[in-house]
Structure 1
Amino acid sequence: MWQFLREYISAPNTIGAIAPSSRHLAAAMTASIDFGKARCIVEYGAGTGVFTREVAARKRRDTTYIVIEQNDCFYEMLRKQFQGMPGVVLIHGDAGNVCSFLREQGFKHADYIISGLPFTSLPRQVSHRILSQTQEAVGAKGVFTTFQYTLLRKAFLEKYFHIQGIVRVWQNLPPAYVLHMKRKCCPEKQISADSMV
């Protein structure tokens, strides 16, 4: 908890929360995942590993689980917890490079992508790059799930995805919205930075 708060104070725009996510939020974030069929699952911004522990415990042994974390401190915490776990691939890097990371593991698309990134506070150009890559990464059939503390960026997310459902999780600090989404039919290259309003 204190480590998380320290990282939030040092980089509030990229951490986006003052406390780790609750188990209730982890359950909502993974509710759409068919663990029996998923071949590839990706996580952005794993932080202290709350969602990571949930997915790692429930996935099949042969499912590839790509966990991307850019923060140095959080990546080290994840490495200590999950390095060597079957099927778990830890990447110290940028979610905006997700398609490259998928190719490195032999995949064109992910079945599911879950994200803890704070799109409300991230610069729009950064969000645009990540969401454009995510469109490509989930393909026509994959599901993208993110949580946000407000719905201020709902219209922005809808430029890239069709929102299939929104769940309010009250048992979290602070309460959060979980959005389950699928890619729009139009290719991501049609969405230009100039269209981000």
Structure 2
Amino acid sequence: MDGSELTEERKVTKLKRKFRQMTGPLGVFFEGFVKNPVMVGSIIPSSRYTIRRMLEPVDWANCKLFVEYGPGVGTFCQTVLDHLPRDGEYIVIDTNPLFIDYLNRTIHDSRFHAVLGSAEHVEQIVRRHGHEKADYVLSGLPFSTLPEGVAPAIAAATYRVVRKGGAFLTYQFSTVARDFTALHFSRVDTGFEWINIPPCVLAWGWKDTD
């Protein structure tokens, strides 16, 4: 790389930094979407109505480990941390280094762990953090556009990692995530949130206690 190319790269990096500073988390989210729209799935983070409805069924008093796939810029993060017990832990998993870097820079809570990786490997990630099972797993991943074989692998791994009585919580703009959940979880509750851009299908797959 010659001097002119290096100067140009520095200018681009500086412009990106200024854009993020001006737009805050929305800018980071938009940049992440532009870089990998297949994995992000939406150009706008979830609404507060979606957040509230998705987390309503969670038994926070008995939640020791909460896991989230595709946290983006942390739309759900503060709400989860506000409800999570002091001795609980929260693991978020994302394949986008831009989002993981942003979360590590902006969330300072000893219970919070941002992991760069794939949700397919949730079992290994959970064990690496000293747990065998998760109480709840939340996913906003776009199951309908994931590479072939990835969605079923994530659904199967999630079923294995969720404890009995726990749940897999999904929100997506189609029924695909709910349908994959139903392949493993015997009880799936479904909802729909209109006040979101775009409106989305909500699903809670519960693992039998037997």
- TM-score normalised according to structure 1 size: 0.86
**Which structure features the higher share of helix residues?**
2
- List aligned pairs for 1:16-55, cutoff 5 A: 16-55=41-80
Q: 2:204 aligns to what? A: 180
Q: Is the 8 A contact 1:62 1:86 kept in 2?
A: no
Residue segments in structure 1 that go unaligned for 5+ positions in a row: 186-197
Q: 2:106 aligns to what? A: 81
1:169 is the counterpart of 2:193: yes
Partner Cα distance (2:65, 2:79) in 1: 15
Q: CA deviation at 1:63?
A: 0.4
- 1:140 maps to which of 148, 159, 164: 164
Q: 1:194 aligns to what? A: none
Partner Cα distance (1:23, 1:148) in 2: 15
Q: 1:105 aligns to what? A: 129
Which consecutive aligned stretches of 4+ in structure 1 deviate over 3 angstroms post-superposition? 152-157
Q: CA deviation at 1:35?
A: 1.1
* Greater Rg by CA: 2
- 1:2 maps to which of 27, 52, 67: 27
Residue segments in structure 2 that go unaligned for 5+ positions in a row: 1-25
Partner Cα distance (2:64, 2:180) in 1: 29
Q: CA deviation at 1:152?
A: 4.3
Give RMSD over aligned pairs.
Answer: 1.8
* Matched residues, number: 184
- TM-score normalised according to structure 2 size: 0.81
Identical positions, percent: 30
Partner Cα distance (1:155, 1:37) in 2: 27
Q: CA deviation at 1:153?
A: 5.0
Q: With CA pairs under 8 Å and 6+ residues apart, which has the higher RCO, 1 or 2?
A: 1
Partner Cα distance (1:158, 1:164) in 2: 6
Q: CA deviation at 1:29?
A: 1.8
One-letter amino acid of the counterpart of residue 29, structure 1: M
Structure 1 pair 133–61 and aligned structure 2 pair: CA distance change class (3 A):
same
Q: CA deviation at 1:128?
A: 1.7
Deviations 1:64-104 (A, max 9, x none): 11111221111111111224x03112211111111111112
Corresponding residue SS for 1:57: helix
One-letter amino acid of the counterpart of residue 92, structure 1: L
Q: Is the 8 A contact 2:170 2:177 kept in 1?
A: no
Q: Is the 8 A contact 2:178 2:203 kept in 1?
A: no
